[in-house]
Homo-oligomer: A and B are copies of this chain.
């Protein structure tokens, strides 16, 4: 009772109020029956649909790995645009932008003392070039925190090896951030202390002999926030290889490594976002944005990261495109480019659409693998929380539970929009096994279960359609400036 007037007063909940559309309790909201039935039908179709599987199969097979800025990523944009046309989207746009191009090149890392052992290693994104091969003694650090205490020039001529604890596996992926510090900022400490190279234990929960790549953090300095990247080569080794180095170190062996890496930045190249729109029948300029990212790391074929997200959201929108009429608002699928190398596509999108940012009524990305969704979280106008609650109730037969109403980031590529005030939801996937595959050569199509993918499609189709169809305001009122 308390909130209905405030909703109405603010014009936030201007739904046609049928007899059953609002519950007895003011803080609850029931979906209008017709909308509920359509959303249910989308869910049922999603569960039966093989479309997402076909999309991710095509993307990973016909295009393969899609490093940001590469020819393959450009081919993927063409693929995405053709797909959008075939699936009946109303408007297909490619928005190019320029990025600095980092390429891995060939690399090799061999333990040369106490004996010769080829290590399973790869360069980290942003790594420098070794300028040929060199051999050096290893200085062992138990953690990046220990490395951070190394005094200036104390590592001159040496290779720093940063070990670490195994990454904690969790449904939410909470183990990733802390593990990730050695990958993100380790190079800044190593370079300051004069090391010739840095080798880190792979981030990730895989016990398989794959190194885990990923972008390092640039050093930002000066008034113009100029970015500085590593001059030294930085590589990650697989967990079993790191175990081996740790055991040998603990036995008191002197470790030496022979390192070669051709990695480095090259000139600026094109990347781009592919935008597929189902234009809203009543409010075409109001946008419900869903999507994933089109680029991938080059080691695998980018199946779980993020072929799955592109496939899930495109398939969900394609189901909506089959309905007799478009929803009130526009549903926009964005296949972001250059996510892996620093959310460059997301930043380009936010920059280009800065003037329209207030037209984005809700945004969410699928970028956490291909496992089932277990939770719906949100970050919207509090007055619209009962609507999100109602969507969650609808999704509950999919084994999805309502989570926090003030916590959703929306996904990596949504971050720049969220920072500009765009409301977000997130359909949280089970991430327990995600970091076994993420950023490794093992991120391939065979790791995806088509039935789990279909559950995702069902949830996205219902959620996106309801957000676009219901006359509900998810945006927070603008504060007067």
Which residues of A does B touch, CB under 8 Å? 57, 60-65, 72, 75, 114-115, 117, 120, 207-210, 239-240, 243-244, 247-248, 251, 300-301, 441-442, 444-447
Residues of chain B within 8 A (CB-CB) of A240 are 442, 444-446
Contacts A61-B244, A64-B115; A207 near B120 (Cβ below 8 A): no
A301 vs B241: C-alpha distance when bound (angstroms):
10
Q: For the complex, give the distance between the alpha carbons of A239 and B301 in Å.
A: 14
The reply to whether A120 and B244 contact each other, CB–CB distance below 8 Å, is: no
Q: Which residue of B lies closest to A248 (CB)?
A: B61
A239 touches B446 (CB 8 A): yes
B210 near A446: Cβ-Cβ < 8 Å: no
Task: Identify 19 residue pairs between A and B in the complex whose beta-carbon atoms are under 8 Å apart, listed by A's number.
Answer: A57-B247, A61-B244, A61-B247, A61-B251, A64-B117, A64-B244, A65-B117, A72-B115, A120-B441, A208-B442, A209-B300, A209-B441, A209-B444, A239-B446, A240-B442, A240-B445, A240-B446, A243-B444, A244-B445
Q: A209 with B210: in contact, given A243-B445, A247-B61 (CB under 8 Å)?
A: yes
User: Which B residues touch A300, using CB under 8 A?
Assistant: 209
Shortest Cβ gap from A295 to chain B (Å): 15
Most interface-central of A60, A209, A247, A445 (chain B CB within 10 A): A209
Residues of B near A210 (CB, < 8 A) are 208-209
Task: Give the distance to chain B from A294, nearest Cβ to Cβ, in Å.
Answer: 16
A247: B residues at CB distance < 8 A: 57, 61
Whether B57 contacts A244 by the Cβ 8 Å rule is no
The minimal Cβ–Cβ distance linking A443 to chain B, given in whole angstroms, is 9
A114 and B64 CA atoms in complex are apart in Å by 10
New A-B contacts (17) at CB < 8 Å, excluding given A60-B244, A61-B251, A64-B244: A57-B247, A61-B244, A61-B248, A62-B251, A63-B115, A65-B117, A72-B115, A75-B115, A207-B447, A208-B210, A208-B442, A209-B210, A209-B300, A209-B442, A239-B446, A240-B445, A244-B445
| Cα–Cα, bound, A240→B64 (Å) | 12
Assembled-state Cα–Cα distance A446/B208 (Å): 9
Contacts of A64 in B (CB 8 A): 115, 117, 244
Query: Which residues of chain B have C-beta atoms less than 8 A from A248's C-beta?
Result: 61
Chain B residues whose C-beta falls within 8 Å of the C-beta of A446 in the assembled complex: 207, 239-240, 243
Shortest C-beta distance, A314 to chain B (Å), equals: 20
A207 to B240, CA, bound (A): 18
**CB closest residue in chain B, given A117:** B64
Distance in angstroms between the alpha carbons of A332 and B244 in the assembled complex: 31
User: Can you list the 10 inter-chain pairs with the closest CB atoms, starting with the nearest?
Assistant: A240-B444, A209-B441, A61-B247, A209-B442, A64-B117, A208-B208, A240-B446, A208-B442, A207-B446, A243-B446
Give Cα A239–Cα B251 distance, bound, in whole angstroms: 37
Q: Once the chains bind, are A444 and B244 in contact (CB under 8 Å)?
A: yes
A60 to B62, CA, bound (A): 41
Contacts of A57 in B (CB 8 A): 247
Looking across the interface, which residue of chain B has its beta carbon closest to that of A298?
B118
How far, in angstroms, from A220 to B342 measured CA to CA in the complex?
58
Which B residue sits closest to A106, measured CB to CB? B108
Min CB distance A104 to B, Å, is 10
Task: Report A357 CB to chain B, min CB distance, Å.
Answer: 37
Q: Which chain B residues lie closer than 8 Å to A65 at the CB level?
A: 117
Please measure, in the bound complex, the distance between the C-alpha atom of A60 and the C-alpha atom of B251, giving whole angstroms. 13
Expressed in whole angstroms, the minimum distance between the Cβ of A361 and any Cβ of chain B is 39
